[in-house]
Structure 1
Amino acid sequence: MTAANGTFSMQVAPTLVPLLKFYFHEEVRKAAVSAMPELLRSAKLAMEKGVAQGRNESYVKQLSDYIIPALVEALHKEPDTEICANMLDALNECLQISGSLVDEGQVRSIVDEIKQVMTVSSSRKRERAERTKAEDFDAEEGDLIREENEQEEEVFDQVGDILGTLIKTFKASFLPFFDELSSYLTPMWGKDKTAEERRIAICIFDDVAEQCREAALKYYDTYLPFLLEACNDENSDVRQAAVYGLGVCAEFGGSVFKHLVGEALARLNVVIRHPSAKEPDNVMAYDNAISALGKICQFHRDRIDSAQVVPAWLNCLPITGDLIEAKVVHEQLCSMVERSDVELLGPNNQYLPKIVLVFAEVLCGKDLATEQTASRMVNLLRRLQQTLPPATLASTWSLLHPQQQMVLQSILSS
């Protein structure tokens, strides 16, 4: 739907919304569900582009106030697990579009519905576990149960996304609701839960720590032991979420995180030094561990042997798997070089060639730094060209592929 359709959203909504509960036909419900975010999106676009004459934010709010409660109510009555996941997905999109237009009463009803969804989902999983113990249980039913459990994980996945959206939108004012949900979320960290459930639980805490900062410090005692343990989980997605969370806690945890720096380093070390750390399945966890190590170097240098740890971090660069973390890490490196970080440059500037090499690889790579960071790197390289001995510079360039040398020469001479 486009902005031009936005003016019709309010006229179309009363026809489509009741179809969320059209129990005679699943495809009709699915189509109605997928239309909800589109109606809201086009209304918002129409308002922003001035297509809807005389319509302002209250028009979008009116539509949002109609659609979101209707979705929550339909979700409460939805018998089909797959459509339940679709509804949660649509609800999350609607929340992202509506943002702070969603009022506290609606947040309350969404949180209550999430509790209901999680309770019902868990009891369905328990029933299936019981079914596997029956005498007449066979391979065919085993396949069916596996499929049903995958749908259940999709439901939990969408719940995690909705909570992430609410945390990002309302920040610390969402924490009373988070407190209510903690008895539902804490069991998801358990070893008896699936890797996907553990990952979702960790991501929710990561969001709380990142978005609520000081207000989230009170949760560290409860959740950090789980997070530290999960850093070395056998599942790479769980590891990635956990080491990312450690980086967030290192950045925002202040004195509360200080006494855990030693254990955090030990956990990250296991991830970084793993023989298959850079294989495709593990590279995202590896990159996030490098990023977390960088944050410990930045925010807790007084608690580490920085003459050892900072060069070890530099040695792991550049990172090329997680492009979001790559931009963060390479920007940090740039800032450290700009302020002539003593431990980074090393005695007699011995690590400068490695720094030049990292800059070169970042500049020749694809999307490894923001435009701003890249131009800062180019300026630093030009400065280093003037200050480094020609022999050092030549030996550094020789470590680059011919293709990289050409790219770099053209960047530096332009």
Structure 2
Amino acid sequence: MELLANYLFFSRYASRFPCATVCTGRKYVNLSCCFQNGKQMVQEGALTALASVADSSQDHFKKYYDAVMPYLKAILMNATDKSNRMLRAKSMECISLVGMAVGKDKFRDDAKQVMEVLMALQGTPMETDDPITSYMLQAWARLCKCLGQDFLPYMHVVMPPLLQSAQLKPDVTITSAESDDEIESDDDSIETITLGDKRIGIRTSVLEEKATACNMLCCYADELKEGFFPWIDQVAPTLVPLLKFYFHEEVRRAAVAAMPELLRSAKLAVEKGQAPGRDESYVKQLSDFIIPALVEALHKEPETEMCSSMLDSLNECMQLSGCLLDENQVRAISDEIKNVIIASATRKRDRSERTKAEDFDADEGELLKEENEQEEEVFDQVGECLGTLIKTFKASFLPFFDELSVYVTPMLGKDKTAEERRIAICIFDDIAEQCRESALKYYDTYVPFLLEASNDDNSDVRQAAVYGLGVCAEFGGLTFRPLVGEALSKLNNVIRHPEAQHADNIMAYDNAVSALGKICQFHRDGIDAAQVIPAWLGCLPIKDDKIEAKVVHDQLCSMVERYLLLVSAWQQQ
């Protein structure tokens, strides 16, 4: 067993060693011998180790596949006694991980045989403590990832028990939080939590099965895309209520992650004609079911990290729904974003107060650091959500932005974190880029911040600021004209800085070069073109920011074409 433990350790860290591929061969030879050992514990350990080897070796494992798979299938088919339940369960895990490692083409023929065994097992009554149940759920999911759309014929077998597990009701005991009575249990399977004035005891084994099932449903929707469509009408009503399942965080997390996958599946099925009798109105109906539920769940979510996940999911759902969102939904989302910003500010003040406590120590400081990182992720997702709304609805969103701006503008202050400042600048960048003339009224408020932030100590803030100056140069017209001189000075500071092209600063540099090109292109009459344009040309090409590199290339082509037209017109005179 010590040998097997060493295999496990090595396989987990194999990618760090250059000799990994060579050693895998030696490990395989020894492990294959273990399968022939009569001791069940040794065989189970060998299966676990081999699964880990395959997982770390990936494509390199193909050379051993033909020799090892017959052993694995033999165990799966013959280890039918109750005493061999864990051995059989381990064989499922190993086979599915080996299949994922070698890929669909290599695994396809054996996969058919393996899944016939799993289908037969699926229909067999099992005891509640049988490990095969949970191992089989996870094996099915891995097989789906391996086979992709080829897995669809087996969904009618997989889905019914999976939905049944996802719909399990929690085994709950409720007492008053102020009561002296303890919730008792004969074993360690009861977990106690307090919600408001209630103390709740809940059996964790049910929750674990429910969480695993919800994760598997999300996995299938993600992997099968439009192929998952036939199951949406059963899965959506199962998972949407679980957005507020406060008994178990993993259940909520899986439900949150599944929301955009369900919408994506429906949208793709309709677009590809794989949803008989359904059209865009079905996607709208599903969107109307999911998005308000997400917004409501976000409003009630107690965990900061989960708030971030919900905002991320909401953003994906908005991107998929696009203009199917109606005005009331946009208002509800905007109002909730406002609530998120307010709640975040409150938590930030509370953390600041905690630093003043007498018992504040290094451990508490580490905890605060972690909480601050979670808070920045929330702000990042707020910026992403607003960016999606702005890009989708453009000037039509501005009335909602006007209500939010009182919360966004303070994020530009020097007392805020670099991440908060970057997000606030990115929000204005989106407004200026997507709303164009309609955004000119915000220039007096935001452009001074862009100019100042162009020389910020933080490179991400600088990048967002100089990008924004480029957007304003392109779309700001006469409103931006008086600021061109100061903008040139700020951009020159970024471009000419001694460490401008250092890895940490290169993205800000590329965006500054792009912004300078836009000033040359759109404000040529307001600059000393004979000096500025050669300086810009001297910065080319830019290579790291691929998006801005294309923009700059287009700028150069546009200027060359303009010059050729001017020369042609001069020659004809």
Matched residue, 2:536: 313
Contact 1:7/1:46 (<8 A) preserved: no
Contact 1:306/1:343 (<8 A) preserved: no
User: 2: CA distance between counterparts of 1:22 and 1:130?
Assistant: 31
Deviation per residue, 1:381-406 (Å, 9 max, x gap): xxxxxxxxxxxxxxxxxxxxxxxxxx
Matched residue, 1:107: 330
Q: Of 425, 428, 437, which aligns to 1:202?
A: 425
Matched residue, 1:238: 461
Indicate the SS of the match to 1:50. Answer: coil
Matched residue, 1:140: 363
Instruction: Report matched runs for 1:90-105 at 5 Å.
Output: 90-105=313-328
| In the alignment, structure 1 residue 70 sits paired with structure 2 residue 70 | no
Please, what TM-score do these two structures have when normalized by structure 2? Answer: 0.59
Matched residue, 1:324: 547
Deviation per residue, 1:168-193 (Å, 9 max, x gap): 00000000000000110010000000
User: 1: CA distance between counterparts of 2:565 and 2:414?
Assistant: 43
Aligned-residue identity in percent = 78
Instruction: Report matched runs for 1:19-30 at 5 Å.
Output: 19-30=242-253
Compare 1-10 and 326-335 and name the one that shifted more.
Answer: 1-10
Instruction: Report matched runs for 1:142-221 at 5 Å.
Output: 142-221=365-444
Deviation per residue, 1:151-170 (Å, 9 max, x gap): 00000000000000000000
Indicate the SS of the match to 1:277. Answer: coil
User: 1: CA distance between counterparts of 2:558 and 2:428?
Assistant: 29
Indicate the SS of the match to 2:531. Answer: helix
| In the alignment, structure 1 residue 295 sits paired with structure 2 residue 521 | no
Matched residue, 1:5: 228
AA paired with 2:529?
S
User: 1: CA distance between counterparts of 2:250 and 2:265?
Assistant: 23
User: 1: CA distance between counterparts of 2:309 and 2:385?
Assistant: 12
Matched residue, 2:262: 39
Change (3 A) 1:193 1:272: same
C-alpha RMSD of the superposition? 1.3
Report the Cα offset of residue 135 of structure 1: 1.6
Structure 1: tracts of 5 or more residues without a match: 345-414
Deviation per residue, 1:20-39 (Å, 9 max, x gap): 11100000000000000000
Contact 2:284/2:324 (<8 A) preserved: yes
Matched residue, 1:395: none
Contact 1:230/1:238 (<8 A) preserved: yes
User: 1: CA distance between counterparts of 2:490 and 2:565?
Assistant: 26
Q: Of 235, 238, 258, which aligns to 1:15?
A: 238
AA paired with 1:184?
Y
Contact 2:521/2:559 (<8 A) preserved: no
AA paired with 2:353?
E
| In the alignment, structure 1 residue 259 sits paired with structure 2 residue 482 | yes
User: 2: CA distance between counterparts of 1:253 and 1:84?
Assistant: 36
Number of corresponding residues: 344
Structure 2: tracts of 5 or more residues without a match: 1-220, 568-573
User: 1: CA distance between counterparts of 2:564 and 2:346?
Assistant: 55
Matched residue, 1:384: none
Indicate the SS of the match to 1:153. Answer: helix
Deviation per residue, 1:325-382 (Å, 9 max, x gap): 00010121123223436999xxxxxxxxxxxxxxxxxxxxxxxxxxxxxxxxxxxxxx
Matched residue, 1:131: 354
Indicate the SS of the match to 1:137. Answer: coil
More relative contact order in 1 or in 2 (CA 8 Å, sep 6+)? 1
Matched residue, 2:445: 222
Contact 1:209/1:248 (<8 A) preserved: yes
Contact 2:466/2:491 (<8 A) preserved: yes
Compare 127-136 and 289-298 and name the one that shifted more.
Answer: 127-136
Change (3 A) 1:323 1:257: same
Contact 1:243/1:289 (<8 A) preserved: yes
User: 1: CA distance between counterparts of 2:319 and 2:459?
Assistant: 28
Indicate the SS of the match to 1:7. Answer: helix
Matched residue, 1:51: 274
Instruction: Report matched runs for 1:375-394 at 5 Å.
Output: none
Please, what TM-score do these two structures have when normalized by structure 1? Answer: 0.82
Report the Cα offset of residue 207 of structure 1: 0.1
Task: Name segments (4+ residues, structure 1) moved above 3 Å.
Answer: 338-344
Contact 1:311/1:343 (<8 A) preserved: no
Contact 1:307/1:343 (<8 A) preserved: no
Report the Cα offset of residue 8 of structure 1: 2.3
AA paired with 1:164?
G
Matched residue, 1:278: 501
Contact 2:470/2:514 (<8 A) preserved: yes
Compare 10-19 and 21-30 and name the one that shifted more.
Answer: 10-19
User: 2: CA distance between counterparts of 1:99 and 1:7?
Assistant: 23
AA paired with 2:376?
E
